[in-house]
Structure formats: structure tokens, C-alpha cells
């Protein structure tokens, strides 16, 4: 007989899935970061190298944006695909439910739906305050950082406040 993986003790068949021991799950969950994720740091670093200055994790703003450009009033959130429910947003609740391989599937579906609803509420609140909200998926940053950067820089340039010097140059041309 095979030895259980990851501390699983149940012989119950979950379609090839074996649940972890609670201690193993607790350890893994303790390693999930709320701020300064790898892709968030890479995005901030790339923006900084381009000469952009910003605030990070601004608690005074709704949702505590990962990156905030005060002058341009642009808030950027780097959303993890799992925690912010990319499957839910792109394919619906049925696909999310099917993708979760856990005994307490309904708990996780409800949690991810609440996260999705909170994201929508935070976005609406920031927009009501005059901010433009940019949400970027971590996996998109991993696969196409340059494309994401171009998009963000384009938004920042369009939202940049005009100075008197800018208006004079525009009037002369």
C-alpha cells in the first residue's frame, strides 16, 4: 500500500486528490503574502526604472492600492489569479467550482465570490473619488510585463496634470 502524501490519512477517493494535513495547509497559507509579492515588486521596480514615482500600499485609499500615483490619480492593484478569482471573472461560478479540488469547495467558492464583490466595490469607490483603477493579473505580468508596462505608462501619460509650461508649448505649436 502506498504511503499517503502530504500527511493525508483518509482513504476517501477525491478523484485523485488527496487532502493535506491541516498543519501542512496552515504552513502553506502562512507563506501567502498580502503585500510585496514577487510580481508587485517587479512592476514597481520597472516603473521606478522608467522614472515614475509613486506610493505603495496607501492605507488612506479604499482597498489599499498596491501602487498609487497621487498626481495622476491612478491606483494599481496587482491581483493574484487565485485569490481574486480570475476563473470566476472569466468563466463564471461553475468553472470556479469545477476547478477547486477540496472537501470544502462551497466555502472557497463563497470566499472567492466575496473577494470578487469586494474588488468591484473598491473599484467603484475609488472611481467615485476621481481615481482611475488599473487591475493587473499576476500571471499577465509574468508572461507579458512589457505589454502591461506600456499600457500603464500610457494611462499615466494621459492622466498627467498639465503644467503652465505644457500649455505654453502647446499654444506655440
Please name each of the domains of the chain with its CATH number: 33-159 (3.40.960.10)
- Residue 15's pLDDT is 55
- Residue 136's pLDDT is 95
Cβ contact 110:168 at 8 Å? no
Burial 82-118, CB ≥16 within 10 A → b, else e: bebbbbbbeeeeeebeeebeeeeeeebbeebeebbee
Percent of the chain with pLDDT over 70: 73
Mean per-residue pLDDT of the chain: 81
pTM of the model: 0.74
What string of H, E and C letters represents the secondary structure of the chain?
CCCCCCCCCCCCCECCECCCCHHHHHHHHHCCCCCCCHHHHHHHHHHHHCCCCCEECCCCCCCCCCEEECCCCEEEEEECCCCCCHHHHHHCHHHHHHHCCCCCHHHHHHHHHHHHHHHHHHHHHHHHCCCEEEEEEHHHHHHCHHHHHHHHHHHHHHHCCCCHHHHHHHHHC
Cβ contact 14:28 at 8 Å? no
Q: What is the pLDDT of residues 85-132, one digit of tens each?
A: 888 888 788 878 888 777 788 888 888 899 999 999 999 999 999 999
- Distance between CA atoms of residues 136 and 145, nearest Å: 10
Cβ contact 74:155 at 8 Å? yes
- The C-alpha cell of 167 is what? 500649455
Amino acid at each position: 500500500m502506498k504511503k499517503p502524501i502530504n500527511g493525508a490519512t483518509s482513504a476517501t477517493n477525491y478523484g485523485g486528490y488527496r487532502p493535506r494535513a491541516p498543519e501542512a495547509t496552515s504552513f502553506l497559507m502562512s507563506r501567502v503574502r498580502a503585500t510585496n509579492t514577487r510580481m508587485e515588486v517587479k512592476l514597481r521596480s520597472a516603473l521606478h526604472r522608467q522614472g515614475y514615482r509613486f506610493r505603495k500600499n496607501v492605507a488612506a485609499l479604499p482597498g489599499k492600492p498596491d501602487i498609487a500615483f497621487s498626481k495622476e490619480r491612478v491606483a494599481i492593484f496587482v491581483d493574484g489569479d487565485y485569490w481574486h478569482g480570475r476563473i470566476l471573472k472569466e468563466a463564471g461560478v461553475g468553472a470556479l467550482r469545477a476547478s477547486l479540488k477540496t472537501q470544502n469547495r462551497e466555502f472557497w467558492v463563497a470566499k472567492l465570490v466575496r473577494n470578487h464583490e469586494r474588488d468591484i466595490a473598491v473599484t467603484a469607490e475609488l472611481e467615485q473619488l476621481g481615481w482611475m483603477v488599473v487591475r493587473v493579473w499576476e500571471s499577465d505580468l509574468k508572461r507579458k510585463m512589457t505589454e502591461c508596462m506600456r499600457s500603464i505608462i500610457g494611462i499615466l501619460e494621459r492622466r498627467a496634470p498639465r503644467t503652465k509650461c505644457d500649455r505654453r508649448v502647446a499654444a506655440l505649436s
